[in-house]
Structure 1
Amino acid sequence: MRISKEPEVRKREIADNAMRLFCEKGYEATSMKDIAKAVNVVPGLCYNYFKSKYELYEFAIALYANECLAPLIEILQTEEESLDAFYEKIVAAFIRNDGKEKYHDFFHKDGNQLFHKQLEIVMNDKIQPYIENFIACLNKKGQLKVEDPKSASRFIVYGQSPIVNDDTLTPEEKAEKVMSMIKLILK
């Protein structure tokens, strides 16, 4: 019996199952046929939404990046009284979520470094404008005096990646190292 679903619901279902299979079997070993079977649909339906497995993967990465970044973006868009209050909220959100992300195991699995780098680029590109706007807003409030918010935000976003992705550090150690660097940059 065929179950009709809204297109966005179906796309999400296909993407979630694809990522689950990529985690279990690996990206290369997973076919669109495998994904369709996991969703309990015919392969043609998957191709109706995604032209290829790679397009499906890109869609799943974008969804995942949005989910991972949502708590940080929410914090960056709030009105706080002090810069320290922002720092505290960002650190708490990072520590609460680090390593517990939905597809963490896939992206951190040995041999999946290229996939992890792709995710890192997508996430950094998505968060950078929010950081830039955050710095510009704090400049207007007189809490910061950063001459070039765009360059500062790029340096912060792309510079923190090696620390955040260092699995030899605890979430607390990562947060402390990144925040100490951010405080130096935003002096």
Structure 2
Amino acid sequence: MKPESRKQEIINAASILFKEKGYSAVTMRDLAKAMGIKAASLYNHIQSKQEILSTIIIELAEEFTNGMNQIVASDISTIQKLENIIALHIDVTLRNADGLASLNNDWMHLEEDNLIYFEKMRQEYEENFRKIVKKGVDKGEIKSFNIEIMVFSTLSTLRTLYLWYPKQNNIEANILKRDMISVLLKGVA
């Protein structure tokens, strides 16, 4: 494993601060203080706080988009596709819960081009999810509930996992994945 670059260290530290305080409340001085360096030193590695936010959000959004595109293109059942989507969310959350806070809470602070790009990825992701669910209902692979309620319920749970899971001290990742897939796809009754 190669060591983290200084830029990546800055991004990681910023992710934590953005999660704790929100993007708007964090200053470059806050970030420098958290890293134990002078604020001017940050600019040797990054151009702005906006660059940090864009990097966090766009990289995560592209990871979700690429994962979804692979799932959509795969020749597997609807249930397997849904299992893979849930697993994708869990895997990304376990790797970068702090970054997901920015993805979910601070995306509206992206500057115009990145905001448009992000919104397009998010809409396509949701539409792909919706199509998978609808196809599953049409094929009788999943129960015929309201598609929008199924999409909302599942994605809301997955998108807030970053808030809940870090507080769980006794749930291993493999148990989380197994049980969450089962609960989201089969329910509790």
State the TM-score bracket (shorter-chain normalisation): 0.5 to 0.7
**In the alignment, what sits opposite 1:34?**
41
> Greater RCO between the two (CA within 8 Å, min separation 6)?
2
Count of residue pairs brought into register by the alignment: 147
Which of 148, 151, 157 is the equivalent residue of 2:149? 151
What TM-score results when the alignment is normalised by the length of structure 2? 0.55
- Structure 1 unaligned blocks of 5 or more: 1-15, 40-45, 47-51, 108-114
What residue is the counterpart of 1:119 in the other structure?
A: 103
Provide structure 2 residue ranges, at least 5 long, that are not aligned to the other structure: 18-29, 33-37, 108-117
Query: Where does residue 65 of structure 1 map in the other structure?
Result: 60
Please tell me whether the aligned partners of residues 68 and 128 of structure 2 are also in contact (alpha carbons under 8 angstroms).
yes
Cα deviations by residue, 1:95-144 (Å, 9 ceiling, x for unpaired)? 76663x3xx38x2xxxxxxx653334569x93433322211222333433
Contact 2:86/2:158 (<8 A) preserved: no
Residues 1:162 and 1:66: Cα distance change in structure 2 (over 3 Å) = closer
Q: Which residue of 2 aligns with 1:174?
A: 176
Q: Percent identity?
A: 10
Deviations 1:3-26 (A, max 9, x none): xxxxxxxxxxxxx86542143587
Structure 2 matches for 1:126-141, cutoff 5 A? 126=122, 127-141=125-139
Cα-Cα RMSD: 3.9
State the 4+ residue runs in structure 1 displaced beyond 6 angstroms. Answer: none
Please tell me whether Structure 1 or Structure 2 has the larger radius of gyration of its CA atoms.
1
Match of 2:185 in 1: 183
Alpha-carbon shift at residue 61 of structure 1 (Å) = 2.5
Greater share of helix = 2
